[in-house]
Amino acid sequence: MASKRSDTAAVGRRGFLKGAALSGAAAITAGEAKAVPVEAPKKASAAYPGPLQLAADTERPNADPATQTSSGGDFMTDVLQSAGIDYLFMMCASSFRGLHEAVLNHGGNKPEIIVCVHEEIAAAMAHGYYKIDGKPQAMICHATVGLQHAAMAIYNAWCDRVPMLAMVGNILEEDKRLPGAEWNHSAVDPGALIRDFTKWDDQPANLQHFAESTVRAVRIAQTPPMAPVFISVDAELQENPIEDREKLKIPKLSLPLPAMGEMGALREVAKMLTNAENPVVVVDRLARTPAAMPLLVELAEALQCAIIDVGGRMNFPSQHPLNHSGRARAAIAQADVIVGIEATDLWGLINAHSDRIVRSNRPIYKPTAKLATIGNREMLIKANDQDFGRYQPVDLAISGDGEASLPYLTEQVKKLIDDGRKSALAERGKKLAAAHASMIDAALSNATIGWDASPITSARMCAEVYAQIKDDDWSLVGTSVGLAWPRLLWDMKKPHNWNGGSGGGGVGYNAPASLGAALANKKHGRLTVSFQGDGDFMMCPGTLWTAAHHKIPLLYVMNNNRAWHQEFMYLQAMAGRHQRGARNTRIGTTITDPNIDYANLARSFGVYGEGPISDPKELGPALKRALAVVRNGEPALIDVVTDPR
Amino acid sequence: MSHIKTSMLAAALIAAAFSGAPARADGDPVKGKATFLAVGCFECHGRSGQGGRMNYPAPPLAQLQLPPESLAAFLREGRNDMPPYVASQVSDADVADIHAFLQTLPGPTDPKKIPLLAR
Ligand SMILES: Cc1ncc(C[n+]2csc(CCOP(=O)(O)OP(=O)(O)O)c2C)c(N)n1
């Protein structure tokens, strides 16, 4: 009896009906059951429904239409297309099945669905994509559960001031929710989860509202200072028929021009810069478009001044003699004028600080140095997350978009430089070029130490990779923590040679954001490469499946130091300070025992994988093979066993 | 060499470094390597003493120009982000061994002789 009961419980509603119909025909009694063939008891095991129940279950009431000829999702798809969304990065979920189906069958898979196995991957791909393509894309996930997964990547994009349209499906009206999951997966205000790090959000109540809010969201996201925006999309609105399509209007997307700084104030900065003995310009998230780099080169060359590029974007050619990013401290110490343009953390750069019991800090810059900033970051900061960094007092702070302000600033600088000044500037330029050259020489000399060592030094790994890509149209779209070699020694001069870091330092960014960037590079036929920390990789290893599934060409060079090495060092420092256990710090900080076989892991996802490679002599040939795969349009991963940094 | 240039050790230590004070004869480079790895010097300075980076670059240590006594004195206090190593964690004998090991590390060579680094 007991086993019969559990069989009954296992039969679903449809199975139950089927069973009921059969049992009516066969009229098996409990006594006869023993005589029938083995499978019969299963069929007959359900309790018999009465005639009323049968009718309710089989006859469709007139008020319950089964099909429809339009859906709100169709209109939403039109809106997304019209707002210029080309890709929808997503992890499927029933709360947006209406929109999902409409994108496919009404929109012809436009925006193109990029299938991700985790919501963090979806958001990070949109992040990486934007920094190459310059066009924001959309991601969509389940309300509550999916959005919590995506939150980390949205936070990185926020800190990096990168626009994206994040969306969830949500079931607003409680009487429309089925029991169970649909309650766990619905929220009154899903945007609350991420409101601290999005610029704007809405939960439209009808389709017209959806159109206006989505277009508005896409516009707000792209108005500097840029940031992610969020729309919660009601499931009923997606799934149910459109009442009157004629009435619905999709507003045109118009983007405002970024505001430059106030002209009088910019003229003041131009004066400060031209009159200075040793002016220094600090930039971080300056380049919004490919136009920024030549503009900054023009300013630097007019002034013959040092540029310190913190590297949030591809702002300044790495090998330009005026690029002093690799000797920032020395350049800051000499400066009498420092101008930060979209320099996110100026305080962090121009002060020295130490990680001791007493957290001390002191200015590196001269007490007499004059400071100015131009940028729009302070036009968008919020109180909770502290990504604004420490307050840096300056002499002149200008609100306005850095890139938009550059042409006027340069024009004013040029006006102020008379012929008499030009030879002095040329002299300064020569000195700066010499300092740049010795910075490079010192780096090259350091790069030779341990050249043939195993595990492979990070300098050797980077040099091996560069040697094989430098003649291609390459794009380095990610690096592992603290890997300084490429920006020091590679000749980065095209806007897509580099695209900055995570923004928020949230580990798990690099693998998926690199893939997003590679997707953007694909249509240009660029060779995309990313140095991949092993710790970062293990946050979102499923990224590789998306790479294989969508055939996105990209070489991941696994910088496999078998640790969350940054934390390994911090723990070592802690043990030193506490005078104990200096030999214990591997616990909780290293990724060994067992070692992870990343090449095999890659292969299991359908990605070409080689390694682990610990002999530096084997690295070049392995890279060659992997790059052949990538040049052929597919992803590849090389697992390089490396020394820490 | 950058590790000399970046050094901001007390003048006395620097003087000692350039006076050519000999390393303690009893330093054992093999033990020194084991200690260098066990107590985590390699984490920030690299297994080849090539240097590394925690919050900011940690200098190369290959061919360190410091006598063992000065190295010991330096380790006890650390400096800025260089953590301290008290004697109960790294004894004077350990320091002598680490010192001997650092002297066996080849240090930089001429980048022009390495095709991938030649410019
Ligand atoms: C989401 C998140 N979790 C934890 C950390 C702390 N953290 C900072 S760096 C780091 C190690 C990353 O490991 P890996 O990518 O292998 O780089 P490595 O430091 O080893 O070079 C960790 C865990 C973080 N920044 N973000």
Q: What is the mean pLDDT of residues B29-55?
A: 97
Does B10 map to a domain?
A: yes
Does B113 map to a domain?
A: no
Residues 6+ apart with CB under 8 A from A41: A4, A7, A33
Instruction: Find out whether A89 and A125 touch, Cβ atoms under 8 Å.
Output: yes
In short, whether A530's Cβ falls inside 6 Å of ligand 1 is: no
> Does the structure show a pLDDT above 80 at B1?
no
**Using CA of residue B58, residue A498, residue A390, residue A217, what is the dihedral sign?**
negative
- For A308, the 3-state DSSP assignment is strand
> Does the structure show a pLDDT above 70 at B24?
no
**What CA–CA distance (Å, rounded) separates A208 from A193?**
25
Does B52 map to a domain?
A: yes
- CB-count exposure of residue A617 (10 Å: 0-12, 13-18, 19+): exposed
Percent above pLDDT 90 for chain A: 89
Element (H, E) at A475: strand A474-476
**What CA–CA distance (Å, rounded) separates A120 from A141?**
10
Averaged pLDDT score across all residues of chain A: 92
Does B118 map to a domain?
A: no
For A69-240, the fitting CATH number among 3.40.50.280, 3.40.50.970, 3.20.20.120, 3.40.50.1220 is 3.40.50.970
> Residue-wise over A200-232: b if at least 16 C-beta within 10 A, else e?
bbbbbeebeebbbbbbbbbbbbbbbbbbbbbbb
Give the tens place of pLDDT for each residue, A167-216.
999 999 999 999 999 999 999 999 999 999 999 999 999 999 999 999 99
Q: What is the 3-state secondary structure (H, E, C) of A264-283?
A: HHHHHHHHHHHHCCCEEEEE
**What CA–CA distance (Å, rounded) separates A433 from A427?**
10
Beta strands in A322-472 (DSSP E): 337-341, 351-353, 361-363, 370-375, 396-399
Give pLDDT, residue A645: 83
Q: Which CATH class is domain A263-443?
A: alpha beta
The pairing of strands A370-375 and A361-363 is unpaired
| CATH, residue B47 | 1.10.760.10
Q: What is the mean pLDDT of residues A625-641?
A: 98
Which amino acid does the sequence have at A150? A
Instruction: Find out whether B108 and A446 touch, Cβ atoms under 8 Å.
Output: yes
Domain A18-38+450-641 sits in CATH at 3.40.50.970
Does B14 map to a domain?
A: yes
Give pLDDT, residue A63: 79
Domain of residue B97 covers: 3-108
- Is the CB of residue A446 less than 8 Å away from at least one CB of chain B? yes
Give the tens place of pLDDT for each residue, A387-402.
999 999 999 999 999 9
Give the tens place of pLDDT for each residue, A579-621.
999 999 999 999 999 999 999 999 999 999 999 999 999 999 9
Compute the half-sphere exposure of residue A585: CA atoms within 13 Å on the CB side of its CA: 29
* Domain total in chain B: 1
Q: Which two tokens stand for residue A374?
A: 């131009």
Residues of chain A neighbouring B50 (CB-CB closer than 8 A): 446, 449-450, 453, 457, 459, 643
> Does the structure show a pLDDT above 80 at A81?
yes
> Which of A14-28, A135-149, A284-298, A484-498 comes out lowest in average pLDDT?
A14-28
- Is the CB of residue B90 less than 8 Å away from at least one CB of chain A? yes
> Does the structure show a pLDDT above 70 at B14?
no
Residue A179: C-alpha distances to residues A66, A183, A314, A345 (Å): 21, 7, 51, 49
Q: Where are the domains of chain A?
A: 18-38+450-641, 69-240, 263-443
Instruction: State the best of A448, A488, A586 to mutate against chain B, taking most chain B CBs within 10 Å.
Output: A448
Give pLDDT, residue A60: 62
**What CA–CA distance (Å, rounded) separates A358 from A401?**
37
Tell me the nearest-neighbour CA distance from A456 into chain B, angstroms.
10
- For B115, the 3-state DSSP assignment is coil
Tell me the nearest-neighbour CA distance from B16 into chain A, angstroms.
24
Instruction: State the best of B4, B5, B36, B43 to mutate against chain A, taking most chain A CBs within 10 Å.
Output: B43
Give pLDDT, residue A24: 35
DSSP 8-state symbol, A242: P
Radius of gyration over every alpha carbon of chain A, rounded to an integer in angstroms: 30
**What CA–CA distance (Å, rounded) separates A457 from A480?**
13
- For A258, the 3-state DSSP assignment is coil
Give pLDDT, residue B26: 82
Does B21 map to a domain?
A: yes
Residues of chain A neighbouring B43 (CB-CB closer than 8 A): 565, 568-569, 572, 644
